Each structure stands twice: as structure tokens, then as C-alpha cells.
A and B are shown apart, each in its own frame.
Chain A
């Protein structure tokens, strides 16, 4: 499975958009990009995933570059409750079912 690179930490003001980048330059054609987040003392929570096209749901938007080597998770109006570690994962969706979590990005939303 391809590996990902994320910044260690980011800050964002409450109410502003939070844009979290992820590099996955070795991604292969059948690998999806997944985003999870983990709020302190909780288990990881699924946010969104995509293959080629941009995706949007009630939590966030996912922008994937045309060459698929990088992506950005967008939280359009960050709140204090969005403070968490955000993990970008590439997954083949094969029978392996193994998600490789790195260290993720610690997003801190300030009032």
C-alpha cells in the first residue's frame, strides 16, 4: 500500500476553513484515499473517501489532484470540536483490509 505524508500540526481559527494536505505520490490506480480523525480519548472516526473525483459529505470535502499524487481535506467552517488528529490513508480495498495509519496531522481550532 502507498504511504502518505502529512504535516505534523496545523492551526485554524474557529469559523474559518481548515485545509489539511496529504501527499501520496506513490498511489496506484486502484487505491482510494481515506480520511479518518481521532478526537482525544476516542477511537478514530471515518470522515470521507474518494478515488479520482472530488467528494463532499456532511462532514467535509475531499479534493484530489488530477495526477492523484496529493489531496486536501477541507472542513468548511471549523469548530472547536474539530480539534483532533487527522489521518490520511490510501487503501486498495482488497481483502487485506489493513489501514495504515501514520502519525497524522494534529489540527487545533482556536476560538
Chain B
């Protein structure tokens, strides 16, 4: 079974330029997450989708970040314009979603991430 696929793996851009990251979750997974991981830190959630609906985007800097999940499958995260402080690894994860035994299935499966460097 294929895991979470992300592209590109690496991206170098100059500040003020736009950049986009793409994620294809595990087939059948309804929930999709975007995380940002700064050097030496654990991942931090940016946005969570249930199918095509963004149900938690409270941590997404909406002045420059945007995301979409058309048709409830693939997702794109965009930054426009990028700033120096946006240099980080951007991780996509997916989970089954739905309830099992009365509890939301939260085991998340992560992609390899996109390493962004803003110069």
C-alpha cells in the first residue's frame, strides 16, 4: 500500500516569491493534516481537513498561507509571499477519520515532507 506522497521534496526560493506544496494521502483516508516543523522542534499543526472541509485552521497564518483540498483527496498548501521565517519542513499526514469503538481514529500517517529554504 502506498503511503502519503508529497512533492516536491526540496524547494529553494527567494523571499517574497510564492511556493506551493502538494500532498496525496493514503487511499481511503478522509482526514488530511498539514504540519510545519522548524529545526529542532516537533511538528505543529497548520490545518486539518475532514474530506474537503477545513475543520481546524486556527494555526494557519491566513495572511500569507492558503490551502485547499478539492474533491476531498489531494491537497495543496501555498505560501504567498514567502518570508525568511517560513524556512521549515512542511509535513502532510492522513488518517482514516470516522469513529471506531466510539472514538475518532486519530492514528496519523505522515509523508516524507517538503524541505523549504527561503533565501
| SS class, residues of chain B in contact with chain A | strand
| A87-B42, A101-B42, A103-B40 known; A96-B108 Cβ under 8 A | no
Please tell me the size bucket of the interface on B.
Answer: 20 to 34
| SS class, residues of chain A in contact with chain B | loop
Q: Which A residues are CB-close (under 8 A) to B67?
A: none
Q: Which single residue of chain A is at the shortest CB-CB distance from B100?
A: A93
Q: Which single residue of chain B is at the shortest CB-CB distance from A85?
A: B42
Q: Which A residues are CB-close (under 8 A) to B4?
A: 43
Asked whether, in the complex, the Cβ of A99 is within 8 Å of the Cβ of B110, the reply is no
A interface residues, how many (CB within 8 angstroms): 22
Q: Mark B35-68, 1 if CB is under 8 A from A, else 0.
A: 0000011111100100000011000000000000
B residues adjacent to A (C-beta < 8 A): 4, 31, 33, 40-45, 48, 55-56, 91, 93, 95, 103-104, 106-113
Q: Could you write out 19 A-B pairs with CB less than 8 Å apart?
A: A34-B106, A41-B112, A43-B4, A43-B93, A43-B111, A43-B112, A44-B43, A44-B108, A46-B107, A46-B108, A93-B106, A97-B56, A97-B104, A98-B56, A99-B45, A100-B42, A101-B41, A103-B42, A104-B42
